[in-house]
Amino acid sequence: MTDTIAAIATGYARTAIGILRISGPEARQVLAKVFTPFAGKTPLLERPAQSLIYGQLHDADGAVLDNCLATFSVAPASYTGEDTAELQCHGSPTMLAAGLEALFAAGARQAKAGEFTRRAFLNGKMDLTQAEAVIDLIDAETVSAAKNAVGQLSGAMGKKIDGIYNQLVDLLAHFHAVLDYPDEDIEPFEAEEIAQSVGKAAQDLAALRATYRRGKQLTQGVPCAIVGRPNAGKSSLLNAILGYDRAIVTDIPGTTRDVIEETVRLGDLTLRLSDTAGLRQSDDPIEQIGVERSRRALEQCDLILAVFDESRPLTPEEREWLPQLSGRAAVVIYNKQDLPPALTAEEKAAIAAVVPVSVSISAAAGTGLAELTEAIRQVVGLSHFDPTAAIIANARQLECVTAARRSLGEGIEALAAGETLDAVSVCLEQAADALLTLTGRRASAEAIDKVFEQFCVGK
Ligand code: GDP
């Protein structure tokens, strides 16, 4: 980190404003070489840090490239923890490229993808979970996902993990005291007391693990299956949702071959809809495969939207598959509310007995969609979601938490089996290691590279 890096932080598209970013020990000198405050202004380097200075960006030959604003932050009070400068220019990709060339001529080199944030991490400005939150924030496709990312950006995960880690380290310190100075007068440990303490840490980790699904729902969308008999209005519902929020529909090949998923946005939720054509019994082998896939999609989804045609009585087939919704996160959608209702109170009661949450809509007219969004938020539990709480954001974090939890479980077993403190402390040390990997305090270079590979240049 002895060299000074520079990049266009705003990409190569034509934009209103484009930002050139510089970080490193030479940032001050690089900025002074390419930027001159307008005449009569206090020289750049005599200004208080972080003030905005109006002036001119010029190339190595002194030719003016742009009138722009410069700001300078002194280490360690900056994003990267190094001396950092930013030039807010007009958003011309051509001029920005020329500006970047001028920065190189002045002594900076091209920053690699994620290098600014990597430096922030290496300088202790953030832990690895916070760096991951930066990616999640940039990639967030819904406001909920963004709010969650900002929550994690504040270090909720790091704080939670540090708490558990410190608890383990305290225990280990005691163990070592006992092991290293057997003759000293240290209270002998009661296995019961240790087991309780380790058990508490294990519980905390288990609770954290349970947040993974929520995090995934926020960042990748809620896996969701639409079910209902033919003509209930499933396709119309999908179209209504699309029209309602002008969502972009994309086809993502699902985990199972040939199953197509559509991603749609409903308010601040992203739904990953699987097409579950048929739930009915069939003797046709080809259709059976489809039915089998539908059943799998139904089993694996986090949310079921069960569409009923309110203008028709229940069919025997519908009565037959209704029990499959029992105990699942599901919303019943009574469609075609614009038509005279034919579903009886008895039929609705039978449905409500299995799925308590329902809304009436008209997919054709596009009415009732706001209520549907609210019902879905309620059922998936996003309406009472706290974005500032620690949430596992990705598979890497899950792996670390799972490994730590497993090691603690082994420690508890070793205690129960009456093994030596040495054996127990090995398990606790492994757990503590997994937690250090999670926050990146003792992560391998490969693990760190993997995180920063996901960044764009300039971040
Ligand atoms: P799917 O087979 O479940 O996908 O059902 P479709 O979405 O294809 O709809 C079946 C029929 O019901 C079509 O003729 C739609 O125009 C009609 N339909 C869908 N929603 C409504 C609605 O809210 N009101 C009325 N009146 N007709 C609807």
| Alpha carbon distance 45, 27 (integer Å) | 11
Say if residue 185's pLDDT is above 60: no
> Which residue has a Cα nearest atom 9 of ligand 1?
233
pLDDT computed for residue 230 by the predictor:
82
Distance CA 421, CA 416 (A): 11
Q: What is the pLDDT of residue 261?
A: 67
Q: Which atom of ligand 1 is nearest to the CA of 240?
A: 20
Cα separation, 337 vs 369, whole angstroms: 12
Decide whether any atom of ligand 1 lies within 6 Å of the 236 Cβ. yes
Protein residue whose Cα sits closest to atom 10 of ligand 1: 231
Q: 216: pLDDT confidence band, cut at 50, 70 and 90?
A: confident
**Is the CB–ligand 1 distance for residue 335 below 6 Å?**
yes
pLDDT at 279: 52
Average pLDDT of span 326-353: 94
User: Would you put residue 3 in left (φ > 0), alpha (ψ -120 to 50) or beta?
Assistant: beta
User: CA nearest 309: which of 248, 379, 362?
Assistant: 362
Token code pair at residue 368 = 């009732």
Asked if 273 contacts 261 with a C-beta cutoff of 8 angstroms, the reply is: yes
- Of the candidates 330, 332, 337, the residue with the CA atom closest to the CA atom of residue 368: 337
Pocket test for ligand 1, best of 236, 318, 362 (most atoms within 8 A of CB): 236
Residue 251 pLDDT > 60: no
Q: Is 341 in the pocket of ligand 1 (CB under 6 A)?
A: no
Tell me which of 226, 231, 276, 337 to substitute to probe ligand 1's pocket, judged by most ligand atoms within 8 Å of the beta carbon: 231
In this prediction, residue 249 has a pLDDT band, given cuts at 50, 70 and 90, of very low
Using the structure block, give the residue that is written with the tokens 């209704």.
322
User: Is the pLDDT reported for residue 416 higher than 90?
Assistant: no
Residue 84 · residue 72 · CB < 8 Å: yes
So what's the pLDDT on residue 241?
A: 83
Task: Tell me if 57 sits within 8 A of 65, measured CB to CB.
Answer: yes
Give Cα separations from 90 to 8, 44, 70, 87 (angstroms): 12, 20, 12, 10
pLDDT at 80: 97
Nearest atom in ligand 1 to the alpha carbon of residue 237 is: 7
Quick one: which of 84, 325, 129, 326 has its CA closest to 227?
325
Q: Give the best-scoring range by mean pLDDT among 145-154, 184-193, 197-206, 381-390.
A: 197-206
Residue nearest to atom 19 of ligand 1 (CA): 233
Quick check: CB of 230 below 6 Å from ligand 1?
Answer: yes
- Give, in order, the Cα–Cα distances in Å from 231 to each of 236, 295, 336: 9, 19, 11
pLDDT band at 387 (very low <50, low <70, confident <90, very high): confident
Mean pLDDT for 87-98 is 96
What is the structure's pLDDT at 386?
80
37-86 confidence digits (pLDDT tens):
987 666 666 777 778 889 999 999 999 999 999 999 999 999 999 999 99
User: What average pLDDT does this structure show over 304-315?
Assistant: 94
User: Mean pLDDT throughout 259-280?
Assistant: 70
Tell me, using a 6 A CB cutoff, whether residue 229 lines ligand 1: no
**How many other C-beta atoms can be found within 10 angstroms of the C-beta atom of residue 71?**
17
> 81-85, 101-105, 400-404, 414-418: lowest mean pLDDT where?
414-418
**What radius of gyration do the chain's Cα atoms show?**
29
